[in-house]
Chains A and B, each alone.
Chain A
Amino acid sequence: MTTATESSTVDERTSPGVRIRDLTVAYRTPAGELPAVSGINLDLAPGSITGLVGESGSGKSTMALAMLNAVQQPGRITGGAIEIDGLGDVLSLSPKQIRAVRGGSIGYVFQAAQNSLNPLKTVGKQLLDLGRSHGVEDRRALVRQARELLSRMGLSGERVLDSYQHELSGGMRQRVGIMLALVLNAHVLVLDEPTTALDMISQANILSIISDVHAERGLTTLVVTHDIGVVAEVADRVAVMYGGRLVEQGPTVDVLRTPSHPYTKGLITAIPRLTGDPDVARPLPGRPPTLGTIPRKGCVFRERCAVYAAGAREDCETLDPPAHDVGGGRLVACHAVEGEQ
């Protein structure tokens, strides 16, 4: 992937590219170390928004935390690399360096931003804390920057900085989360479930803010969510996770129109729609695996797979399907899809 060096519209900075290679994260459990994320390869093109979709337990949040090398005990990154242009491999930075990167060049908006703010401090105080921990000297400039960001997102900077979190609505807190992630000029933005727990109208508002801020500031953005609708609305590319694997990735419009992996197909068919025959929606059989029930051998999805149910293939049971290129920038990890090639 080449960096967009000629792009002059996007500020004077250039959005960094991110390359995740063979990332594996394991959790220590009574049953031994089990991989929650296993052998993930994913490129975030400079200036793109990538949507990472998965159900609970798919490893998507673990993966998002790994972007900051912030996987908590008993989890541990056991292998791989996350290369970010201008930073190098995030996983090999020293503790001091990574602390500067978190909230510095990589902004992170936490799942349920409503719960990630300190209830005892005003937003302004928390902003100054952030500045102090990152050695910001010009505090006035920091506050000015924060106010600009807040008013860009349709909030009154004055009022919000003087507020405690309980005085703000869910949508406002989410915007405060985005402000705190970007106020130190992050170039990479990771958002974990940015609209969960928000109403439809607030969700639409936050999504349009994410798209706009992304474009204005020339970011490379990763949106982690369980909601395909969210991805469909904002993301250029989508990556689908299941059982710790990336089972499919490609341009959002193409993946939605012609999903290749049986899981992606099933997930899209299971969305109730507002037009057409409501009976077109069909539930996906079975249930998502948990850390302990992910099959150790073969394809992690086979128990719920329509293709496997229609005619069991031996390699589905023995071999974890590798992701292969099916053209058009799309990668699919499925033996059956490989067979068609």
Chain B
Amino acid sequence: MSGEIEGVGIVKTYQARGDVLKGQAVQALRGVDFRIPAGGAASFIGESGCGKTTLGRILAGLETYDSGQLRVDGVDLSALRPRKREPYFRRIQMIHQDPYSALNPTRTVDAILTDPLTLRAKQTGRPKSWIAERQREVLSLVGLEPDYVLPRYPHQLSGGMRQRVVIARALTVDPDALVADEAVSMIDVSLRLGILKLLRELRETVGVSVLFITHDVATARYIGSDGELYVIYRGQIIEHGPTETVIADPVHPYTQCLLSAIPVLHGLERPGPDRLVPTEPLADSQSDTGCLFAARCPFVTDRCRTERPELGHDGGTGQEHACFHPERRHVVAVSA
């Protein structure tokens, strides 16, 4: 199996437009490193505006980056000419957040799947008859009844079915990786787990890796409890490690605040003993010198305000963090 994806020091800066903010730079990603093995799972979690969506778009080839390297199977994509780069982005497909706007409302599911499959048939030298066959195959893979959905328009399907069509469309081009950006937040609660389960199963049935971008840590855990978790704050990865380790034993105060904010299911769970709340809300004006979380951190010291901690290893746990004062705290709810 191929399709290892690696990011090395990816930087993305947006120039603000408009009269008021003109000239101000917004640093969406400040040198981000990550590695997702073929068939693996990685989750990027953080608040809105932390850069996680930008990262997903860069991975899917929808956004450029200013510096750093994006490598697929060890090949640095930034060094390639656009034409050479194209085939690599076929291998990374995006599942958008909103299945209502990700599908063309004037086209049937049949038409939606036929286009990429025609292209794929041409690329791989397959006969036309393969297209109809493959259509049914990908629809069955995502748990849809081909005869029911093929003649239908997106508006005739429920949100959950639409998201499955979006996933089927991504699978038509035989990707190595799926990038799912808040893939279930627009879907009815009773149907969410079905979609998450599907993404999880596709890792086994098709061997795709899943890059899951979300603010909901529990869904990230469901998809990839065997994978890696990256916590992003204002464009910097501030903690990273095996998903279960980071959730059970976070060391960075920001990760701890984020995990503390998850509602406790009273009756089934008790609040974690060390629940933590940031001292300030997130504001645009917060300083770029020193630790990015310093302004909101309950444990801030003078050093944090002047010096920026780099992401580095913490003992032998495979966990990395960017904090001068790391301390394990148990913040997530415990089963009652």
Contact = CB atoms under 8 A, between A and B. Distances in A.
A203 B261 CA distance: 7
Interface string A242-284: 0000000000111111000000001110111111101001111
A200 B188 contact: no
Instruction: Name the interface size band of chain B.
Output: 35 or more
Contact of A201 (B192, B278, B332, B336): B278
B79 interface: no
| Most B CB within 10 A of own CB, among A171, A227, A232, A275 | A275
Contacts of B188: 55-56, 226, 287-288
A200 B257 CA distance: 9
A154 interface: yes
B265 A228 contact: yes
A28 B315 CA distance: 65
Interface in B254-289: 257-269, 277-278, 281-282
A255 B266 CA distance: 10
A145 interface: no
A210 to B, nearest CB: 12
Contacts of A199: 47-48, 215
B219 interface: yes
Contacts of B189: 55, 226-228, 267, 270
Given A205-B281, A275-B334, A283 B263 contact: no
Nearest to A286: B190
Nearest to B50: A199
Nearest to A263: B190
B160 interface: yes
B277 A204 contact: yes
A167 to B, nearest CB: 10
Contact of A287 (B191, B197, B333): B191
B265 A271 contact: yes
A203 B247 CA distance: 19
A207 interface: yes
A232 B159 CA distance: 25
A79 interface: no
A266 B189 CA distance: 11
Interface in B162-217: 188-194, 196-197, 215-217
B252 interface: no
A274 B263 contact: no
Nearest to B260: A204
A232 B190 contact: no
A203 B48 CA distance: 12
B266 A252 contact: yes
B306 interface: no
Contacts of A232: 263-267
A230 B334 CA distance: 17
Nearest to B161: A287
Given A274-B262, A278-B225, A154 B281 contact: yes
Interface in A183-233: 199-205, 207, 226-230, 232-233
Nearest to B271: A233
A281 B278 CA distance: 30
B193 A281 contact: yes
B266 A253 contact: yes
A255 B267 contact: yes
Nearest to B184: A272
Interface string A299-323: 0000010000000000000000000
Contact of B219 (A230, A272, A284, A287): A272
Contacts of A233: 263-264, 266
Interface in B232-265: 247, 257-265
Given A200-B261, A272-B193, A256 B281 contact: no
Contacts of B265: 228-229, 232, 256, 268, 271, 273
Given A229-B262, A233-B263, A275-B335, A284 B193 contact: yes
A253 B267 contact: yes
Contacts of B197: 283
Contacts of B257: 201
Given A55-B188, A56-B188, A204-B260, A274 B215 contact: no
Contact of A274 (B160, B267, B278, B333): B333
Interface of B: 47-48, 158-161, 188-194, 196-197, 215-219, 221-222, 225, 247, 257-269, 277-278, 281-282, 332-336
Given A204-B262, A227-B263, 11 more contacts: A55-B188, A202-B281, A232-B265, A233-B266, A273-B265, A274-B259, A275-B333, A278-B225, A284-B191, A287-B161, A287-B188
8 contacts: A199-B47, A200-B217, A203-B263, A205-B261, A257-B336, A266-B190, A273-B265, A283-B190
